[in-house]
Structure 1
Amino acid sequence: MTRILFLPLSLAIGVMLLGFQSQQASPSLPRYGLHTLVADERTLPLVRATGVDTVVQLFAWWEIESTRGQFIWQPADEAVAGAEYYGLNLVIRLDKHPAWANARPLEAGRPPVDLVQYDRWVRTVVGRYKGRVAAYIIWNEPNLADEWSGLPPDPAAYVELLQVGYRAVKETDPDALVVSAGLAPTNTRNETALDDRLFLEAMYAHGAADYFDVLGVHAYGFGYPPDDPRGAHDGLNLARIQDLREIMLRFGDGQKPAWITEMGWTVRGNEHSAWQEVTPREQADYLVGALERIRREWPWVGLVTVWNLGGESSPDWGGYSLLAEDGTPRPAYRALQGYMAAQGRSVGQPVPAGASPTLSPERYQVLAEDAIIHLGDNPLPAPWVPLHRARNPSPVWRGIVYLHDPGEGSWQLTLRIMQSNFGSNRVWVNGRPLPEAIPLEDFSKSWVSHTWSVPADWLRPGPNEIRVTITHAPPLIQAPGFGYDKIQIKDVVLWR
């Protein structure tokens, strides 16, 4: 249906693997990335403006399929489209399962998730984005009970889950890479956490090498500078990743690269981690020092991902962010830009290198055919889906479509609609209402298509907002649960 326009994905992954393999001879080839908390039209240009070429993003299962069989695809679809538009390689993490997918019984000695359901989930995601995602990370920090549904960390059980994830990815999109879960750096050895080095050794002992292409690594500085020697401070420093590499070599897996999928320092430690807190200036200096040390000393690292971009309210992770909660760049953001510029990477506002999903060169899918949006204030039975964003009332939907050059003349915007009752429900393009209201229903409870003409000068290069709004019911017919009209939309396409 679409393709990555930064590089064709098969070529992009080939280049990545060749780059990793040739790094032994050339230490200047790591890729650089940013981990986003939300990948959208606000954050992705900020990622690209640093000069990095990769974005890592969690696709939380419990957000996409909170109710079994009912998917909310729009945020994920827009993340993939935005990464393509800005020429960013996309790495997706697949975990955070909903309660209905828990293993039953939930008990020690087995993965916390129903593996049949996890297999289906991974295949569904990978199939949807086949050829558009560079790599998938299978789970996150399974050496912590907090990330393992409260169960004691269990390397053998994680390998069982990793095997399922690996096969699901490779059988669905053979060109996509599989990355093992980054492990939390810790010296703890009890039911709440297991030393990441012991966990990795046990993973290899249980056959994990056959089920990942790249070793995922979490590399944190713990308040210490990036040149802190290996083994100093009980090994809680950046150089700890050398211990993981040594384990890879000991188990004969040295041909594979390691990807740092999280790395950073916090400027805001909590009560238990106040000792890790650094100043904003130190955060910036340590980040640049870490990038340089990795490039110079550890050629087996193929990707360095900074945790995290930030720019939103995140009390748990905001101290690591390169942007303050109001979106203001911290010194570390500027330092990353400066380092990328010194490495010859393009920084500043990028020249877009891709486009959102297209059905043809002039046809853009804004909302997928299977992504149904229900606006209103009245939960209804099938064929109605739950209210949009689980909000009641839910009177507004917005979608994003990325364009290069709208050109001249007119575009067409087509929506499929179910049951619009009032003549004041409207479609908006970049804040401007289209002259014709959404047509009234025919009372058949069927989907009907309607097309509007959109002047090209209403559109702009980059992200464009399409919005649908519904209005209050007339006072004479308002009743509990019927303060607004109700409408469903899907399959929104901008074309010409």
Structure 2
Amino acid sequence: MKQIKWLLLVTAVLLLVVACGGAEPETAVSDTTDTTVSEVPTATAPPPPPVVVVEEGGAAGTDSDASAAEPEVVETKIRPWPADKFGYGVQVHGNATVGDPIFTMDTVKGQLDLDWVKMQIQWWLVHPSPDADQWFFYDGVIDEAANHNLNLMVSVVGSPDWTRAAGNHIGPPDDYNQYAAFLTELINRHPGQIDAIEVWNEQNLDREWQTANGISPEDYVRFLEVAYNAIKTADPNIIVISGALSPTGTGDWVRWADDFEYLDRALAAGLLNYADCVGAHHNGYNIAPDVAFDQAGSTAEAATAVFRGPFDNPHHSWSFKTTIDTYAQKVQAVDPTMKLCVTEFGWASSEGYDVVPEGFSFAQDNTLEEQATYIVQAYQQMHDSGNVWLAFLFNYDFGNKGSGPQDDPVPYSIVDVNGVPRPSFAALADMAKPD
């Protein structure tokens, strides 16, 4: 799924936040006023009953004060997450200076009834220079996830320009150990609060992975090895997720690489030696989650769709089902016990908006009701397959924290540009979440 780049300077962000401060809106799920700040981004089955800690009362008393001596029940999150439990999650806008992290986590936990939340951390924003420290952009979100007993997955991307000879953020640092050092800093800053880390994002695209060697699965596996060792040294209970690939058509290996071909080479290079879970993405397009790529042309949507890709040019990348099923087959051919972590999935709908993001015309074909139906169906499909460990919907709150309907994360959101719940919000909240 297309990654959203933060183009605003740090000072501009801070000024915007000051300008947009004030009391919370009365809307049930709106926790920010309109803003142009947008976060870089695109779940699994219901967790088991929460672990509880029972704290015994004080000294024994008489029958008359027995009720006062009842043990206090304190809910805690499940950590480490069991290998046989499906985790339901959602991605949130991870910038603590936009909206109220308390409100966000209240909603995810209390209304959506989820146990996992995902955020993305831009390394360059924390350390724009070697001696700069701007953790305030993320600390509040991480802390509130922990305060609400939510398991937290972070995707860590965006190398500072001072770590790259190229002088930009588009790729790993020239020295992979610098990324490992940042991961260690993150974990030590928030001990016990980080439960999973996704190591990079869509590295089969040149807009995400620009290096002297170009797009290279073998280089990525070496990068993953360094990150994996650093994470496990700092906290062995953290789940390490390999960076999810972007489902693509046949690529030239300059601008992008076919995700199936890339995965084959990464597996051959030893990917599974340095991951607890294999990351996966899919952005739904305009076909249902149970439709294979070679079946799209025979669906009713084929006759009416504005966006013609899945129907006129069949390819595996159009289909959620084909992509997830094939990833699982490839991975489990190497290690039958390895599962996927679907770190971004969703269906965009521009119903109710007068503009569609450039390159996302398929959002016109999905109604709000279809969006809701597809999301629930996809969660159920992943849970029932037994091939997915964690799943994160993209997204909860980019609708009212993005740059308007023309911003591509906005049609994927389960709230609209005013923070009002779309039908998919209620569908997710009401969805059965079995173990």
Partner of 1:279: 367
Q: Are 1:143 and 1:153, in contact at CA under 8 Å, matched by a contact in 2?
A: yes
Partner of 1:33: 89
CA deviations over 1:135-188 (Å, ceiling 9, x no partner)? 111000001111114874211111121111111101111111111011111123
Shift in Å at residue 276 of structure 1?
A: 4.7
Determine if the alignment matches structure 1 residue 94 to structure 2 residue 161: no
Shift in Å at residue 273 of structure 1?
A: 2.7
Q: Secondary structure at the match of 1:120?
A: helix
Structure 1 35/101 Cα, relative in aligned 2: closer, same or farther at 3 Å? Answer: same
CA deviations over 1:255-280 (Å, ceiling 9, x no partner)? 12211110101113533231354121
Q: Secondary structure at the match of 1:283?
A: helix
CA deviations over 1:367-390 (Å, ceiling 9, x no partner)? xxxxxxxxxxxxxxxxxxxxxxxx
Quick one: which of 77, 82, 104 aligns to 1:16? 82
- Structure 1 residues 352-431: aligned runs within 5 Å: none
Determine if the alignment matches structure 1 residue 262 to structure 2 residue 344: yes
- Structure 1 residues 337-348: aligned runs within 5 Å: 337-339=429-431, 342-343=432-433
Structure with more relative contact order (C-alpha pairs < 8 Å, separation 6 or more) = 2
Partner of 1:334: 426
Unaligned runs of 5+ in 1: 21-29, 346-496
2: CA distance between counterparts of 1:266 and 1:179?
A: 25
Q: Are 2:328 and 2:339, in contact at CA under 8 Å, matched by a contact in 1?
A: no
Partner of 1:320: 412
Partner of 2:207: 146
Partner of 2:311: none
Q: Secondary structure at the match of 1:41?
A: helix
CA deviations over 1:68-89 (Å, ceiling 9, x no partner)? 1221122322112101121210
Shift in Å at residue 7 of structure 1?
A: 3.5
Structure 1 12/118 Cα, relative in aligned 2: closer, same or farther at 3 Å? Answer: same
Q: Secondary structure at the match of 1:127?
A: helix
Partner of 1:212: 275
Partner of 1:241: 324
2: CA distance between counterparts of 1:219 and 1:303?
A: 14
Range with bigger deviation, 268-277 or 82-91: 268-277
Determine if the alignment matches structure 1 residue 199 to structure 2 residue 262: yes
Partner of 1:475: none
- Structure 1 residues 72-111: aligned runs within 5 Å: 72-103=134-165, 111=172
Percent identity over the alignment is 28
1: CA distance between counterparts of 2:268 and 2:187?
A: 28
Determine if the alignment matches structure 1 residue 304 to structure 2 residue 371: no
Partner of 1:177: 239
Q: Are 2:293 and 2:315, in contact at CA under 8 Å, matched by a contact in 1?
A: no
Shift in Å at residue 285 of structure 1?
A: 1.2
Partner of 1:227: 290
Unaligned runs of 5+ in 2: 1-52, 54-73, 296-313, 351-355
Q: Are 1:177 and 1:213, in contact at CA under 8 Å, matched by a contact in 2?
A: yes
Shift in Å at residue 227 of structure 1?
A: 1.6
The structure with the greater share of residues assigned to helix is: 2
2: CA distance between counterparts of 1:136 and 1:6?
A: 24
Q: Secondary structure at the match of 1:266?
A: coil
CA deviations over 1:76-133 (Å, ceiling 9, x no partner)? 2211210112121001111111111115699x9x955431321211111122223221
2: CA distance between counterparts of 1:271 and 1:100?
A: 32
2: CA distance between counterparts of 1:273 and 1:112?
A: 31
**Matched residues, number:** 323
Q: Are 1:265 and 1:283, in contact at CA under 8 Å, matched by a contact in 2?
A: yes
- Structure 1 residues 54-133: aligned runs within 5 Å: 54-103=116-165, 111=172, 113-133=174-194
2: CA distance between counterparts of 1:105 and 1:318?
A: 30
Give me the TM-score of the superposition, normalised by structure 1: 0.61
Q: Are 1:136 and 1:178, in contact at CA under 8 Å, matched by a contact in 2?
A: yes
2: CA distance between counterparts of 1:322 and 1:50?
A: 11
How large is the RMSD of aligned CA atoms in angstroms? 2.4
Shift in Å at residue 284 of structure 1?
A: 0.8
Partner of 1:45: 106
Partner of 2:221: 159
2: CA distance between counterparts of 1:57 and 1:334?
A: 22
Letter of the 2:246 counterpart? A
2: CA distance between counterparts of 1:344 and 1:245?
A: 21
Give me the TM-score of the superposition, normalised by structure 2: 0.69
Letter of the 1:318 counterpart? V
